[in-house]
Structure 1
Amino acid sequence: MPSLQETQPLNLLLVDDEPLARVRLRTLLEDLAPVCPTRVLGEAENGLAALEWLQNHAGEASVDVVLADIHMPRMDGLELAGHLAGLEQVPAMIFTTAYDNHAVQAFELDAVDYLLKPVRAQRLQAALDKARLRRPGPDATRLQALGQRLRGGRSHLPCHERGRLLLVPVAEVLYFKADLKYVTARTREREYVLDETLTHLEEEYPERFIRLHRGALVARLALAGFERAQEDGDAYGWALLRDLPEKLPVSRRQWAVAREQAGA
């Protein structure tokens, strides 16, 4: 006799930038309903939209499984998996894609399964059955490190603020500053407190950010120039920013290196 867990529907979130692909998944799920009960709670066209959907529906029925394409605009399925791993309730991941060159990476990301399009009913049922038996979520730190290696850097950084997950676009960050065990990311609009380290960020984005001193990285595109400090102190010089009136200190050790990297 099947257990209650085996008969209760799995709550799903479908994530694919192709509407027809989502329609096909819904059709397959309806066909499988007698032997594999599921309930589609929502749909999203990319990873960002999926995270927004989860935020907007927090407190409602939790998502058990996310079926996500890998190649999507704005945020792909691999990066989505990394952000999901940081949530309090981590859904299982099943990747659906037209390409077979990410299978190894998908399983390294602790995905339940990896389905090639066009998805077949038998394979989908097998993947959902595995998801039903699997409950522990993937390790967020391992996903972050692996995601960095696979994609050359995340497009968004997570900021947990007042019980919500905010996503900071890396392209909008003007600088990072370290403060105790946290790092502050500054955009034109505001500051975000991140659970990151400067060393990790410097390694993840070597082409985008320049080290100014042990406590700061600045975006190359945000630099307006450099000036020498007028008095002795912690700063040997200052980095001038294009969009903010404030200056960032540059250490003696990093002065020549930062200027050379910036082409100054």
Structure 2
Amino acid sequence: MGTLNALSILILDDEPLARERLRALLSDCGTEPVAEFGEASSALDWLSHHPVDVALVDIRLPGMSGMEFARQLSERCPSPPALIFTTALDTHAVDAFELAATDYLLKPVRLERLRTALERAAGRRPVSGRRFTQFTVRSRDRVQLVPLEQARYLKAELKYVTLVTASGQEYLLDDSLIKLEEDLGPAALRIHRNCLVMRHAIVSVERVGTPPDDHWAVQLTDVAERLPVSRRQLAALRAAVGR
């Protein structure tokens, strides 16, 4: 996906005029959609058999909302596309990024904002030969490098992402959790909408507690507490670590 014309794109919007405008903007970006839908359930059915790179999704839709569509993507689609929300509503941005959206565009969508969002989506796949090896962090009045092997997990709280290391040291990072997940690639695994763990630090994935309060959790090397795993992420996590 080095160029925008290599992206396969789906449009999900119940307004014909909105779909027409997006088609025109995509044409100006040098590409075009491979599929269009006016409601979410049909789009989900189609995506389960026809993977695409990007989905441009309105939030206010008949029946299933765009947000619910996004929640079901990872469950129903083997290769979920990058999500770019296109909406007249400015009240769902936080929820959208918690769902790992690539971008959130307000209508009327502007060409340059759409182009930027598509370029971001195009850059989500790791560049061949590139490997993430260290975090750049600020500590007091200096910048230092923390090797990847020292990292244990990343947690997002409010506007900040915190890196927790093997020694228990915590550092605030400038990048978003979504950006860090993209940069880390297979070195990190998502266990919750606000938490990534380092693959090399995983000791076990197991059920803890007793019903009805039991849940799944990850045990990491050098970390006393077991980190909870959301039901949404459990299957992918267990498949990734072979447990």
Confirm or deny: 8 A CA contact 2:23 2:32 kept in the other structure: no
Aligned-residue CA RMSD (Å): 2.7
Report matched runs for 1:125-136 at 5 Å: 125-135=115-125
Match of 2:55 in 1: 66
Tell me if the contact between 1:82 and 1:140 (Cα under 8 Å) persists in the aligned partners. Answer: no
Q: Would you say how many aligned residue pairs link Structure 1 and Structure 2?
A: 137
Amino acid at match of 1:113: D
Instruction: Give the C-alpha shift of residue 92 in structure 1.
Output: 0.4
Q: Which has the larger radius of gyration?
A: 1
Deviations 1:27-66 (A, max 9, x none): 0111121xxxx341101112112112224xx2x5x30000
Choose from 7, 10, 13 the match for 1:10. Answer: 7
TM-score normalised by length of structure 1: 0.47
The CA distance in 2 between the partners of 1:51 and 1:19, in whole Å, is 19
**1:101 matched to 2:91:** yes
Instruction: Confirm or deny: 8 A CA contact 1:9 1:39 kept in the other structure.
Output: no
Residues 1:84 and 2:73 aligned together: yes
Structure 2 residue matching 1:63: 3-state secondary structure = coil
CA deviation digits over 1:175-208, x for unaligned, max 9? Answer: xxxxxx9xxxxxxxxxxxxxxx9889xxxxxxxx
Other structure's SS at 2:2 match: helix
| Residues 1:49 and 1:140: Cα distance change in structure 2 (over 3 Å) | farther
Amino acid at match of 2:33: V
Which letter maps to 1:122? E
Could you tell me which residue of structure 2 aligns to residue 27 of structure 1? Answer: 24
* Alpha-carbon offset, residue 6 of structure 1: 3.0
TM-score normalized with structure 2 length: 0.50
Q: Which runs of 5 or more structure 2 residues have no equivalent in the other structure?
A: 126-181, 195-206, 215-243
CA–CA distance in structure 1, aligned partners of residues 191 and 72 of structure 2: 10
Distance 1:142 1:29, change over 3 A: same
> Unpaired runs of 5+ in structure 1?
146-180, 182-196, 201-264
Matched with 1:52 is 45
Amino acid paired to 2:122:
R
Distance (Å, rounded) in 1 between the aligned partners of 2:52 and 2:212: 33
Higher RCO by CA contacts (8 Å cutoff, separation 6 or greater) = 2
In structure 2, relative to structure 1, the CA distance for the partners of 1:64 and 1:198 (3 Å cut) is farther
